[in-house]
């Protein structure tokens, strides 16, 4: 792999800044996680009505700081259903925070600088609309023992990862294809090159995590003794409970299974009202945020809008099509709580399954945004979901001839009052 290549629980909303066009494949991590959500007995609970509960998919926030205590890297650790393996989501530290009307714009980096891990956690939760089970800020020295499962990580870099050691800018990891230890991985996650744009470092951090995911590892937990219920909840029909585990166990569980990686796309914000001093400042894509969180941590996502909860099932391994569905539902002001890629081939018609006949007229009114749908009054088997939309070829054709440009504001670099 190569490197060439308002605050807590606030709603998220915005557009893929990298300009998604054509068939862009969803990463296997999201596909695997999404498919396992409702096909795993670890997180499945069926009552007399055959209602399936979304399994517990807890999330933790891992912030890594340099020797001077400045925020160097930020990642969401999302455990898979069953609590073994999961997804690392890399978040740019200079992402614009979602601020309330009248608040001074700030980056996640600024949140940590002024308020530490508490303020940072609050702002990341607000930006992603997730609730973290735990959040910590650690140095490379703190992190390295938690990565003890790593034996060697093979990564190729086209330029070195640089940071400040002893007051001198130096190469933390060299150019070329190398094998790295846990200590070196931790050091790279804690490295900040002065006066360098974060956008230059992000591909290397992604490659580093991809290398971790592909590496041979020595699990630090007894997989035969792992109590699934501790993480995925028990098998009652009540809401799944969040695990009471710390960051070390989060990382141990992550590294004991398959590790997938996602890095949020980011676009630099020019000097202006949001970025008055022309700092290194980025906007994320609200649709991409929902795509990721509703796929890998749905039980940690909040339904904050006074509207219905929607599940999107897509037979298209094409992020552009899924993103169009997300954008259109966002324009309708509904909660997207679960996204799955399904293995069945696409049907011609887009199917809207509703359990409550009272929703029929409302869902029919979505046609200008979603195109023609067949509305089926049938059981929606997922607890807390009011509408399950299975995308069909009709939707694919509709979005290609009716683009969503201008349908909804794109960037996360705005105030909550502008949404």
Q: What is the DSSP letter of 389?
A: E
Topology of domain 28-289, CATH: Aminopeptidase (3.40.630)
Where b means 16+ CB within 10 Å and e means fewer, 5-39 reads ebbeebbbbbbbbeebeeebebbebbbbbbebbbe
Residue 278 is predicted with a pLDDT of: 96
pLDDT exceeding 70 applies to what percent of the chain?
80
Say if residue 224's pLDDT is above 80. no
> Which strands make up the sheet holding 134-138, listed edge to edge?
134-138, 59-65, 71-79, 86-91, 259-263
Contact 192, 67 (CB under 8 A): no
pLDDT band, residue 378 (cuts 50/70/90): confident
For the residues 85-91, what does the mean pLDDT come to? 96
Q: Which stretches of 215-282 are DSSP H helices?
A: 228-232, 247-255
pLDDT band, residue 410 (cuts 50/70/90): low
Q: What is the DSSP letter of 171?
A: E
Tell me which of 170-179, 239-248, 254-263, 321-330 is least confident. 239-248
Residue 51 is predicted with a pLDDT of: 73
Tell me the backbone φ, ψ of residue 409, rounded to 5 degrees.
-60, 145
Residue 239 is predicted with a pLDDT of: 40
**Quick one: tokens of 346?**
């696409």
For the residues 209-222, what does the mean pLDDT come to? 90
pLDDT in tens, 322-351: 999 999 999 999 999 999 988 899 999 999
Distance CA(157)–CA(78), nearest Å, equals: 26
CA proximity to 271, closest of 263, 261, 281, 262? 281
Residue 111 is predicted with a pLDDT of: 98
Which of 216 and 22 is assigned the larger pLDDT?
Answer: 216
Which of 55 and 44 is assigned the larger pLDDT?
Answer: 55
Residue 54 is predicted with a pLDDT of: 84
**Quick one: tokens of 124?**
């990341």
Task: Please give the mean pLDDT across all residues of the chain.
Answer: 83
Residue 42 is predicted with a pLDDT of: 42
Residue 328 is predicted with a pLDDT of: 96
CATH says 294-418 is which class?
A: alpha beta
For the residues 151-172, what does the mean pLDDT come to? 94
pLDDT in tens, 128-139: 999 999 999 999
Reduced to 3 states, what is the DSSP secondary structure of residue 310? strand
Distance CA(93)–CA(109), nearest Å, equals: 5
CA proximity to 397, closest of 342, 343, 350? 350
pLDDT band, residue 377 (cuts 50/70/90): confident
CA proximity to 249, closest of 140, 134, 138? 134
pLDDT exceeding 90 applies to what percent of the chain?
66
Residue 1 is predicted with a pLDDT of: 47
Domain locations along the chain: 28-289, 294-418
* Helix (H), strand (E), coil (C) string for 65-108: ECCCCCEEEEEEEEECCCCCCEEEEEECCCEECCECCCCCCCEH
Residue 404 is predicted with a pLDDT of: 80
pLDDT band, residue 65 (cuts 50/70/90): very high
Say if residue 238's pLDDT is above 70. no
Distance CA(381)–CA(280), nearest Å, equals: 45
Tell me which of 158-162, 185-189, 353-357 is least confident. 353-357
What pTM does this model have?
A: 0.84
For the residues 283-307, what does the mean pLDDT come to? 92
Q: Which residues contact 8 (CB under 8 A, 6 or more apart)?
A: 121, 122, 125, 126
């Amino acid at each position: 792999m190569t490197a060439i290549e308002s605050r807590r629980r606030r709603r998220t909303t915005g557009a893929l800044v990298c300009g998604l066009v054509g068939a862009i494949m969803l990463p296997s991590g999201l596909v695997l996680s999404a498919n396992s959500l409702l096909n795993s007995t670890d997180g499945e609970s069926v009552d007399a009505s055959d209602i399936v509960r979304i399994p517990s998919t807890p999330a933790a926030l891992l912030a890594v700081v340099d020797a001077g205590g400045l925020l160097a890297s930020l990642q969401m650790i999302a455990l898979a259903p069953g609590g073994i393996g999961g997804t690392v989501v890399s978040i740019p530290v200079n992402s614009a925070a979602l601020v309330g009307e009248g608040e001074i714009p700030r980056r996640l980096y600024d949140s940590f600088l002024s308020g530490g891990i508490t303020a940072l956690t609050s702002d990341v939760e607000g930006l992603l609309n997730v609730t973290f089970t735990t959040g910590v800020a650690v140095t490379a020295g703190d992190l390295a023992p938690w990565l003890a499962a790593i034996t060697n990580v093979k990564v190729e870099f086209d330029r070195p990862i640089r940071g400040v050691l002893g007051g001198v800018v130096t190469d933390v990891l060299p150019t070329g294809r190398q094998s790295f230890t846990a200590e070196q991985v931790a050091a790279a996650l804690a490295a900040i090159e002065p006066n360098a744009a974060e956008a230059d470092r992000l591909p290397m951090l992604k490659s580093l995590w991809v290398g971790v995911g592909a590496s041979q590892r020595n699990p630090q937990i007894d997989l035969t003794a792992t109590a699934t219920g501790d993480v995925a909840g028990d098998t009652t029909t009540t809401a799944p409970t969040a695990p009471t585990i710390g960051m070390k166990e989060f990382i141990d569980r992550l590294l004991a299974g398959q590790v997938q990686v996602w890095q949020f796309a980011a676009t630099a914000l020019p000097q202006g009202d949001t970025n008055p001093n022309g700092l290194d400042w980025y906007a994320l894509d609200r649709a991409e945020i929902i795509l990721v969180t509703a796929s890998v941590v749905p039980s940690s996502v909040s339904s904050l809008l006074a509207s219905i909860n929607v599940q999107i099932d897509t037979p298209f391994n094409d992020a552009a099509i899924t993103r169009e569905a997300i954008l259109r539902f966002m324009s309708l002001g509904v909660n997207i709580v679960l996204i799955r890629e399904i293995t069945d081939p696409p049907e011609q018609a887009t199917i809207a399954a509703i359990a409550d006949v009272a929703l029929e007229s409302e869902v029919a009114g979505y046609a200008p945004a979603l195109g023609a749908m067949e509305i089926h009054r049938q059981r929606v088997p997922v607890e807390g979901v009011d509408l399950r939309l299975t995308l069909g070829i009709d939707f694919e054709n509709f979005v290609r001839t009716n683009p969503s440009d201008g349908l909804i504001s794109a960037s996360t670099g705005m105030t909550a009052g502008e949404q």
